[in-house]
Chain A
Amino acid sequence: MTAIRGEGARFMGQRVLRREDLRLLTGQGQFVDDIVLPGMLHATFVRSTVARARIAGIDIQAARALPGVHAIFTAADLSRHVKAQPYMHSNAPGAAQVLHLPLADQDVRFVGDPVVLVIATDRYIAEDAAELVVVDYEPEDPVVDFLTARDAPPVHAEIGTNVGLEFATPDDPGLEKAFAGAAHVITETFSQQRHACVPMETRGVVASWSAGEMTVHLSTQIAHMARRYIGLAVGLGDHQLRVIARDVGGGFGLKAHVDREEIGVIAAAKLLKVPVKWIEDRVEHLTVAGHARQETVTCRMGFDAQGRIVAAHFDHKDDVGSFPLVSPGGIGMMAAMYFTGPYRVPRYGFRAASYFTNTAGRCAYRGPWMTESLIRESMMEIAARQMGMDPFELRRRNVITAAEQPFTTPTGLTFYAVTPAESMEQALKMLDLDAFRAMQAQARAEGRLVGLGASVYIEPSSAGSNPQGVGPSDVAEIRIEPDGRVNVQMSAGTGGNSIETTMAQLIADELGVDMEQVSVRFGDTAHAGFGAGSGGSRQAEFGGSAAKLAAAQMRAKVLKIAGHLLELDPGELEMVDGEIRSTAGANKWISLGELAGIAYLDVLRLPAGMEAGLETRARYHRGHLQNHSNATHLCVCEIDRRTGQVRILRWLVSEDCGVMINPMIVEGQVAGGVVQGIGGVLYEHAAYDEDGNPIATSFKDYLMPLALDVPEIEFGHLVTPGDAPNGAKGIGEGGAIVAPAALLNAVADALAPLGVRVNTLPLSPSRILDLIASAGP
């Protein structure tokens, strides 16, 4: 299928079809479970069936004797070969550090805690053997409720407290004075449920140790960062370790970590000197891989008589489980930092607190700090209802306009090149607000529950360069081969973000070649230098800018060579259609292929002193000032009074992520995030019972949106370039951050005639029916 070409740039900005699709549609993808190595063995784990217990004994005799079993490891066997590591990301100063070792040692701290690692000739036999392992548990009462965990027995005896972090901004009399003087004060407590990330491909690893070199095929978003973490854990240098992630079946943040099981399997492979594969099964994934979003927030907002925000306070608590993959407090702090979002908030204070419980650990999940938008946008609409004001008018009175930028928030974030006000107006125009209000009035007169909800947000483009000052860089290496084809290797990562196509679009345009002449590789630590990979909405800006800078260097070199060969001024040459041609009318040209051949093989024809070959490299990083993307989402829903079912009638998006490399990809990313947001608001719940048993153990319990549950999403785009070399800003997480509030607000608006407060997720049919019933007859 040929690429769609447009005016001006041949590929940039066009809805170019993806090249990844050719292998993914035909079953030729290479996911980690597709990797088969000679002699490879298979791993499985024996996991705790209780949430909290001392391990009194482990009997592996029968398991070890089973034919086909190669090795069985307990903590006593494995831990001394692994250096315990804390979490990789989101370090919050002062947070308690939980060290991760592959296997539980003296006690188990959550249902699913890995206790024994079984290695056998195939997975079936490994699971047979796992069934034969007998672990003698002495159960204790688990801590399951994070809201009361503070005063409960410590999950981690060595830490001595269940407080992962408690942080508060200093008491500010000015803040309380502002609240006291406010015409309207809205206070609400919101409770969001525990989610699982659920990429369609579970976690997995194949580790192979051979003659001093370890190759790890890992389903990961972050090959280079994983390499570092693995090296620290198993005692290898970066130069002895290669991590490869070819195709990754979704990550969503979960696969921006390396967890205990992967380290355990890698350590076992190093000891056994045989390749070992572990593929997580879905029950494991839903119950132990990592949970997210279990947060309770109490929020206060004060408004003056005209509806202008005068004060806000954000009090965030989250459950980080037992072995979090993120720093306690990290996500709460990030949510608190971004809470004021697109509005002017003169005075602001916050608290962030994280608590340990005997449950699966918290992981990063697509826009981990999303409660900032969920809470803020809900509060705005509650306030509007209370003040009898149109919620969009309320937003207009508070939203940051273009004239006010660069704008610095109370938490020291600087917003520039953002368009929250404009995106809201575009979305409203797409909706036709007047027509909707008329339809809603008619529906309400008929007793139908129809609602409109909005969410306006701002997200950082690359949370990898975050306010805490962690600033990874990314690299692009371009090599034009002797035949003139373009080989690009990048530190980027994937999980379905289409960079194999978008980066080729960008580079093809920069070098004036057809996209078919460009090959882009990433996700392999042998291919390019260190980078942060994918996660935090960063590839378009970071990967794309590194690619653009490297391409600019390449163009300069090519034009210099061409000028020398053609005896023309490089300033009067251009690269187009695979050739270097004169822009000044001279009838001389040279093909890129011929020029490349000369650069490698006929090097004495190059300009004096010039290095032979055609190889350039560029790194991109930034300081504390980040680019930001923004959007407004609108949701129209109708609630069935009898069943409590929420039907989404319309979903509108007005988004601004700067220069779009490929609008089709942007819309795909946003849509995916929106539907995860819908799932989180209506369906998904990684619930635990009071004994700490996870009860959503399969897709029959953990429900997610299906094709018939989703609206046709309507898109409007604004383009306000950031200051990155390619003008692009990240958008990968955006849909998941902004969408939940739009849906929650739509439900709240639909139920508004009943006077109920909607503040607890998920909004399952039974919860909606309870809300309707609570309103009385």
Chain B
Amino acid sequence: MSEHTITVTVNGVPMTRQVPARRTLADFLRIDCALTGTHLGCEHGVCGACTVVIDGNAVRSCLMFAVQADGVEVRTVEGVAAPDGTLSPVQRLLREEHGLQCGFCTPGFVMTLTALAERTPPASEEEMRNALSGHICRCTGYQGILRAVRRLARGAQAEG
């Protein structure tokens, strides 16, 4: 198995590591960068827990190889809140609406909603709701997540 030296900028910090070609981006983040906020729920691209943001797009890191992210900027859940810990609007709304319980699927939802909310123009409520079909949550029954999405979309419209 070939090994490659790659540099991935994660949450603004360049991470230079040597990885086997078959190392997934998710494992690279979790193991090589010690950023364990990105979670693995299925490793076959359905559950969405591994979602990160690349170039403003929500991407399943379990379906990407680390070597494909050489020279790329990746945003993970650890890079969403402000440096002083203030939650982003997506994070704050999920909390206010009780959109998480065990928290395992949560990073994926945060990244997808962050990508959609930060788009120009921001995604509509319908687009955001449709994007939720890429995420499985087993704890909440999605009730709080949907409430958060409604407020997120309306807030984004109010600002935009």
Verify A675–B102 contact, CB threshold 8 A. no
| With known contacts A26-B78, A249-B104, A708-B130, A21–B94 Cβ distance under 8 A | yes
**Closest chain B residue, CB of each to CB of A286:** B42
Nearest residue, chain A, Cβ from B46: A699
Of B43, B92, B100, B132, which one neighbours A24 at CB under 8 angstroms?
A: B100
Interface string of A664-676 (1 = CB under 8 A from B): 1101110111111
Residues of B with C-beta under 8 A to A36: 34
Residue of B nearest to A202 (CB): B41
A578 within 8 A of B: no
Say which residue of A20, A24, A699 sits within 8 Å of B47 (CB atoms): A699
Contact A707 B77 (CB under 8 A): no
Q: Which of B65-73, B116-124, B141-149, B151-159 participates in binding chain A?
A: B141-149
Q: Which residue of B lies closest to A498 (CB)?
A: B101
Contact with B along A4-23 (1 / 0, CB 8 A): 00000000000001101111
Q: Are A25 and B110 in touch, CB under 8 angstroms?
A: yes
Q: Is the CB of B76 within 8 A of A707?
A: no
A710 touches B143 (CB 8 A): yes
Residue among B31, B92, B101, B146 making CB contact with A668, cutoff 8 Å:
B101
Chain A residues 671-710 with CB under 8 Å of chain B are: 671-676, 698-700, 704-708, 710
Choose one: B36, B76, B130, B138; the contact of A672 (CB below 8 Å).
B138
Q: Which residues of B contact A495 (CB under 8 A)?
A: 102
Q: Is there an interface contact between B146 and A707, defined as CB atoms closer than 8 Å?
A: yes
1/0 per residue, CB under 8 A from B, across A485-515: the answer is 0000000001111100000000000000000
Q: Within the complex, which residue of B41, B77, B96, B105 is in contact with A26, where a contact is CB–CB below 8 Å?
A: B77
If A1-B96, A676-B138, A710-B143 touch, does A699 touch B37 (CB 8 Å cutoff)?
no
Residue A247 CB within 8 A of the other chain: yes
Contacting residues, chain A, for B23 (C-beta < 8 A): 124
Least CB separation from A679: chain B residue: B138
Asked if A200 contacts B96 (CB within 8 A), the reply is no
Q: Is B106 in contact with chain A by the CB < 8 A criterion? A: yes
Task: Please state if B140 and A671 are interface contacts (CB–CB under 8 Å).
Answer: yes
Interface size class of A (residues with CB under 8 A): 35 or more
Tell me if A200 and B47 are in contact (CB < 8 A). yes
Whether A707 pairs with B101 at a CB distance below 8 angstroms is no
Inter-chain contact B136/A21, CB cutoff 8 Å = no
Q: Is there a chain A Cβ closer than 8 Å to B39's Cβ?
A: yes
Distance, CA A28 to CA B34, complexed state (A):
11
Chain A contacts for B42, CB-based, 8 A: 282, 698-699
B58 to chain A, nearest CB (A): 15
Whether the pair B38, A249 counts as a contact (CB closer than 8 A) is no
Q: Which residues of chain B come closer than 8 Å to A124, judged between CB atoms? A: 20, 22-23
**A34 at the A/B interface (Cβ < 8 Å)?**
yes
B42: nearest chain-A partner, CB-CB:
A282
| Interface pair B139/A27, CB less than 8 Å apart | no
B49 at the interface (CB under 8 A from A): yes
Q: Which residues of A contact B85 (CB under 8 A)?
A: 22, 26
CB < 8 Å neighbour of B143 from A17, A21, A29, A667 = A667
**Distance of A76 Cα from B18 Cα, bound (Å):** 38
Q: Are B136 and A200 in contact, with the CB atoms below 8 A?
A: yes
Residue pair B77, A27 in contact (C-beta under 8 Å): yes
Chain A residues in 8 Å Cβ range of B34: 36
In whole angstroms, what is the CA distance A17 to B100 when docked? Answer: 11
Report the Cα distance A15→B61, complex, angstroms: 35
From residue 69 to 113 of chain B, which have CB atoms closer than 8 A to chain A? 76-78, 80-81, 85, 87, 91-92, 94-96, 98, 100-107, 110
B101 x A674 contact (CB < 8 A): no
Contact of B101 with A27 in the complex, beta carbons under 8 Å: no
CB of A471 closer than 8 Å to a CB of B: no
A201 surroundings in chain B (CB, below 8 A): 39, 41, 102, 104
Residue of A nearest to B80 (CB): A26
Known: A25-B95, A201-B39, A282-B41. A31 touches B110 (CB 8 A): no
A593 within 8 A of B: no
Beta-carbon contact of B139 and A496 below 8 Å: yes
Is the beta-carbon distance between A707 and B133 smaller than 8 angstroms?
Answer: yes
Is A199 an interface residue when CB atoms closer than 8 A count as contact? yes
Structural contact, B138 and A18, CB atoms closer than 8 A? no
Taking a contact as CB atoms closer than 8 A, the residue among A33, A247, A671, A710 that contacts B103 in the complex is A247
Contact B95 A18, beta carbon cutoff 8 Å: yes
Q: Could you tell me the distance between the alpha carbons of A279 and B39 in the complex, rounded to whole angstroms?
A: 12
A124 to B40, CA, bound (A): 15
Q: Is A281 an interface residue (CB 8 A)?
A: yes
Interface residues of A in 10-67 (CB under 8 A from B): 17-18, 20-29, 31, 33-34, 36
Docked pose: A707 CA to B108 CA in angstroms: 14
Among B92, B101, B105, max chain A CB count under 10 A is at B101
Whether B143 pairs with A706 at a CB distance below 8 angstroms is no
Residue ID in chain A nearest B29 by CB atoms: A27
Is the CB of A754 closer than 8 A to any CB of chain B? no
Tell me whether B104 and A25 are in contact (CB under 8 A): no
CB within 8 A of B101: which of A281, A672, A699? A672
Q: In the bound complex, do residue B138 and residue A668 qualify as a contact, i.e. CB atoms below 8 Å apart?
A: no
Residues of B within 8 A of A250 (CB): 101-102, 104, 138-139
Contact with B106, one of A25, A672, A706 (Cβ below 8 angstroms) = A25
Contact between chains at B104 and A26 (CB < 8 Å): no
Q: Who on chain A is nearest to B103 by CB? A: A24
Check if A27 sits within 8 Å of B140, measured CB to CB.
no
A27 smallest CB distance to B (angstroms)? 2
Kindly state whether residue A252 has any CB partner on chain B within 8 Å.
yes
Cβ of A713 under 8 Å from chain B:
yes
Quote the shortest CB–CB distance from A32 to chain B (angstroms).
11
Whether B43 pairs with A282 at a CB distance below 8 angstroms is yes
Q: Within 8 Å of chain B (Cβ to Cβ): is A149?
A: no
B59: Cβ under 8 A from any A Cβ: no
- Beta-carbon contact of B136 and A31 below 8 Å: no
Report if B53 contacts A (CB, 8 A).
no
Q: Is the CB of B137 within 8 A of A200?
A: yes
Would you call A446 an interface residue if the criterion is a C-beta within 8 Å of the partner chain's C-beta atoms?
no
Q: Which residues of chain B come closer than 8 Å to A496, judged between CB atoms?
A: 101-103, 139
Besides A282-B47, A700-B44, 20 new A-B residue pairs in contact (Cβ under 8 A), listed by A number: A1-B92, A18-B95, A27-B35, A27-B37, A31-B104, A199-B102, A200-B102, A201-B41, A248-B102, A249-B39, A279-B40, A282-B44, A668-B143, A671-B143, A672-B140, A699-B42, A699-B47, A699-B136, A706-B135, A710-B146
Sort A-B residue pairs by CB-CB distance and give the 4 closest, nearest first: A27-B37, A24-B103, A496-B102, A249-B104
Interchain Cβ contacts under 8 Å between A and B, 8 examples: A17-B98, A22-B85, A26-B77, A26-B81, A249-B39, A496-B102, A498-B101, A672-B141
